[in-house]
Chain A
Amino acid sequence: MKSKTTSHIPFTLGLPAIIWQIVFFYLPLLFIIVSSILKVSESGMIQGITLKKIFLFLSPVYLGVIGSSLLLALSNATLCLLIGYPIAYFLSFTSSRFKSFFLFLLIVPFWTNFLLHVYAWFFVLEKEGFLNNLLRFLGIIDQPIHFLNSLFAIMVMMVYYYLPFMILPIYSSLERLDRRLIEASLDLGGSWSHTFRRILLPLTLSGVRGGFFLVYIPSFAEFAIPELMGGDKQMFVGSVVSHYILGEQTGSLGAAFTVVSSIALLISVVVLFLLINKIMKRVRA
């Protein structure tokens, strides 16, 4: 379609991006995949291929860690979905004056430093924290409740942090919806739940799917929240990885475990994806 004005000069301009991505994204990933099956001596010489490291991590202990991470990710994504969809719906269907305001309110925490949110919840949930002090002040409890260092704290924080990731894709697919379809459905006598099932859900399913994986995938490898909120009681992939990687001797083990968990993640993503697609087909029928 273009006439003969394409020279080769632009290609060298496009090259930096591609080189950068290959060198700093794909190469490192390739590296840790390869290094997880390499046997390295003390002095750093490559001695051959070994699956020992991989099998090390297929033991029950580690599989348990992977399992709980998968479960965490799944429950987080599900919770975010259940809470997030109504919010997205609300945002999309409010009158325009307030819509920007509520959107603004939603995005501000999203754009504030993650650690500060952790800190904020610390502040609230700590033994000497706000919530405990309030409850004691109101006379509801005598002794401070240990909110922190629990699965409860982890879940609260996870949902808190990942909610916008779920809401925004759903919101955008709701925005793209033709409002007249809903009007028509209600007009023709459909009840609300019927309208939801037959019209809203099928058409926004792609947004739901997007939001779901946007939450699910990062949640799996999340380590800051479990570590800071859960202490040493709960072990997840992220914490294990960070401990190994940053340790002197265990660097390569950390890489290997990352690879193993990533494969587990990939498998679960594929399974979930196919499952969701199946559900999508059923709902759209």
Chain B
Amino acid sequence: MGRIWKLLIVASTYLFLYVPIIVLLVFSFNTEGFPSPWKGFTWHWYGELLHSTHLWQAFLNSLIVAICATSLSLIIGVLLIFYAAQGGRTGKFLSLFYGNLVIPETVLAVALLSFFTLISIPLGLTTLIVAHTVLGLGFVIPMAYARFLEIDLRLTEASLVLGASPAQTFFKVTLPLLRPALIATALLVFIISFDDFILSYFVAGSTAQTLSLYILSMLRSGVSPVVNALSAVLLVLSSFLVLVFFSLKSRTRIF
């Protein structure tokens, strides 16, 4: 495979990935509502961004849901790992959680919507949090458990022999060793929840609007430079989070 070909494919793919984003960013500074030709540099749209209360409400909603879902799935997941660490029979139970990867999100969303309707739970932030926690558990438990299995058995044995109870061993040895993986997983779940669209579309109802849904409504009403500005901001945010993830990746093997 000639080096030229290789370079060509890679370059064009990365271009393909980034051209829309770059264009978006560039035109977020355009004076005129895009996409007409370049008129002039302005911060105007960013200003409008700051003043849009709807946007901030949606942003806040997404944030709340993401934080709650991440925390919940982490706590529940760690508790399960704790149970496993005490020698509990988790083998069969763990396969329960691999279903999340096999079921398309749409199917899960439909199922949850029907279920919530059946038991008459009003749709809103709560149902969103519940749904996203399910999503999160599908990541937290396989990843945390995989890392847990990698921990040298001798370390927990050494701790017990030195006089620590099983619970103390978990908190002083197991958990610290799990921490990098847990943080990386938490980051992943947070992003997935924050960016989520499908579950939100079905399960949020009319009251709660997440960021994704807000952008959707803006999309439906046509293109607006404010969204460009929003994209730029979110891109910076994502880049930052990826950087954090990378600094953790050197200490843990997720991939």
Count of A-B contacts judged by CB separation below 8 Å: 248
Near A by CB (< 8 A), chain B positions 122-180 give: 130-131, 133-134, 137, 141, 160, 165-166
Contacts of A196 in B (CB 8 A): 1
Q: Which of B104, B113, B196, B202 contacts A217 (CB 8 A)?
A: B104
Question: By the criterion CB–CB under 8 Å, are A118 and B107 in contact?
Answer: no
Contacts of A105 in B (CB 8 A): 14, 17-18
Q: Which of A20, A102, A241, A258 contacts B133 (CB 8 A)?
A: A20
Contacts of A171 in B (CB 8 A): 255
Question: By the criterion CB–CB under 8 Å, are B87 and A113 in contact?
Answer: no
B108 within 8 A of A: yes
Question: By the criterion CB–CB under 8 Å, are A21 and B134 in contact?
Answer: yes
Q: Which of A11, A20, A115, A130 contacts B83 (CB 8 A)?
A: A11
Q: Which of B18, B24, B108 contacts A119 (CB 8 A)?
A: B24
Closest chain B residue to A245, Cβ basis: B110
> Can you list, as one digit per residue, whether each of A96-126 has a CB less than 8 Å from chain B (1) or not (0)?
0000101111111101111111111111101
Q: How large is the interface on B (under 10, 10 to 19, 20 to 34, 35 or more residues)?
A: 35 or more
Q: How large is the interface on A (under 10, 10 to 19, 20 to 34, 35 or more residues)?
A: 35 or more
Contacts of A268 in B (CB 8 A): none
Closest chain A residue to B100, Cβ basis: A25
Complex CA gap A102/B18 in Å reads: 12
Question: By the criterion CB–CB under 8 Å, are B255 and A172 in contact?
Answer: yes
- Given A5-B165, A25-B134, A245-B202: A122 touches B223 (CB 8 Å cut-off): yes
Main secondary structure of the interface of B (DSSP, over half): helix
> Can you list, as one digit per residue, whether each of B81-96 has a CB less than 8 Å from chain A (1) or not (0)?
0111011101001001
Main secondary structure of the interface of A (DSSP, over half): helix
- Given A115-B219, A117-B20, A171-B255: A223 touches B198 (CB 8 Å cut-off): yes
Question: By the criterion CB–CB under 8 Å, are B215 and A116 in contact?
Answer: yes
- Given A27-B115, A123-B20: A113 touches B212 (CB 8 Å cut-off): yes
The distance from the CB of B9 to the nearest CB of chain A, in whole angstroms, is 5
Complex CA gap A136/B117 in Å reads: 51
Question: By the criterion CB–CB under 8 Å, are B96 and A18 in contact?
Answer: yes
Q: Which of B18, B118, B131, B198 contacts A224 (CB 8 A)?
A: B198
Residues of B within 8 A of A (CB): 1, 6, 9-10, 13-14, 16-21, 23-24, 27, 34-37, 76-77, 79-80, 82-84, 86-88, 90, 93, 96-97, 99-108, 110-115, 117-118, 130-131, 133-134, 137, 141, 160, 165-166, 191, 194-198, 201-202, 211-212, 215-216, 218-219, 223, 227-228, 230-231, 234-235, 238-239, 241-243, 245-246, 255
